[in-house]
Amino acid sequence: MLSVLRRARKSLGHLALVAATAVLAACVPGGGLSPSGGSGSGAIQVALLVPGGSGQLSDEVLAKSLENAARLAMGDLQNVEIDLRVYNTAGSPSQAAAQAQKAVAEGAQVILGPVFAQEANAAGVAVAASGVNVLSFSNNPDIAGNNVFVLGPTFDNTAARLASFAVRQGKGNIMIVHDRNTAGTIGRAAIERGVRATGGTVVSVGNYEFSQNGVVSAAPALVRTARETGAQAVFMTADSSGALPLISQLLVDNGLSSADAQFIGLTRWDIPAATLGLPGVQGGWFALPDPALFAQFQNRFTAAYAEAPHPIAGLAYDGIAAVGALSRSSLRGPLPRDALTQSAGFVGVNGIFRLLEDGKNERGLAVAQIKDGQAVIIDSAPRSFAGPGF
């Protein structure tokens, strides 16, 4: 009844990403960058590393979708010329490293991609001495740092957003319930950090063996613990392809629902859409990018390419958005780190985002609640980094 974990080489917790505005810019105006090196034509030379060439159809589909999203973003830029060069990594760390070195030798001033964490780490190490930064499509924070950034949504970002909202709603006494596996352990740590940072209290931590029998056996004790500790919310790491359908229903069956202690999800509870109809998740909260922007990007991409974008294709759009927003003054050579990490951030397909000094990112997320099988936004995604939501 529980699915197996995703392939190890893919970063944990991929969330569906979409959305785009027609004009991309930094959140606030200011001096940017317009590299005149690289291609020698005044264009910004960007290397896009994609997993093409692996022989797996899923990688080929992803590679093409990432390229198409990047080109869609290029068409939206105003008065900015991008020289986009695509390099296939075949999903291999060694080939990613070689292709990153080739890209830099050919004049790349910034690298977008690769997708998988081991690839991104290898690419970053391979070009570290060059000063070229790697904006990877991974969401694995373990590879972030030095010249490698992760563009993918992280557990820390989602946990902090939801914990902050819970505290503001008077539900700051939080019990964490996690899968007893790698993803669950990482998720639990992210929730603990998020709760601490936003003034909440972790009143208890419960877990279950990642199996059907494990969930069934653990549910009664989890409910007792929630009641005994006075938990106002239960923050779960489970996802819809794993334990979520079972653990949410068994908590309810044992007498605990969002009416008693607010259920909160670290992962997207609207993917696939059928998840929204599960009895156990009714009333639950989860975080997601601005759905209106999501729809805009999806519609525009589909109109341009006659197919829907891959769930993470929007990250390529975001990368071009950041590069384009930094193109307002001259610079030769690599895009510098201090420009990429400007505190104002950027506007991309999922709304506002910014790259942090430690290589991680922050994204403006909305909070949704499941009501009668529908996801209803109860706290909109922030439009700047100065207000609520961070």
CA nearest to 248, candidates 209, 283, 287: 283
- Give the separation between CA 63 and CA 67, rounded to whole angstroms: 6
Give residue 327's pLDDT.
Answer: 72
- Give the separation between CA 286 and CA 334, rounded to whole angstroms: 38
Give residue 269's pLDDT.
Answer: 97
233 and 171 Cβ atoms separated by less than 8 Å? yes
- Give the separation between CA 64 and CA 229, rounded to whole angstroms: 50
CA nearest to 58, candidates 254, 311, 272: 311
Name the amino acid, one letter, at 203. V
* Residue ranges for the chain with pLDDT beneath 70: 1-41, 328-331, 387-390
Give residue 294's pLDDT.
Answer: 81
73 and 24 Cβ atoms separated by less than 8 Å? yes
Residue 189: partners with Cβ closer than 8 Å, 6 or more residues away: none
Report the length, in residues, of the chain.
390
Residue 48: partners with Cβ closer than 8 Å, 6 or more residues away: 66, 67, 70, 84, 85, 86, 87, 111, 112, 113, 316
- Give the separation between CA 292 and CA 295, rounded to whole angstroms: 5
Q: CA neighbours within 13 Å on the CB side: how many for 146? A: 15
Q: What is the pLDDT of residues 322-369, one digit of tens each?
A: 999 887 545 678 999 999 999 999 988 988 999 999 999 999 999 999
66 and 113 Cβ atoms separated by less than 8 Å? yes
A 10 A CB-CB count for 305 gives: 16
Q: What is the pLDDT of residues 84-125, one digit of tens each?
A: 999 999 999 999 999 999 999 999 999 999 999 999 999 999
Give residue 37's pLDDT.
Answer: 40
A 10 A CB-CB count for 89 gives: 29
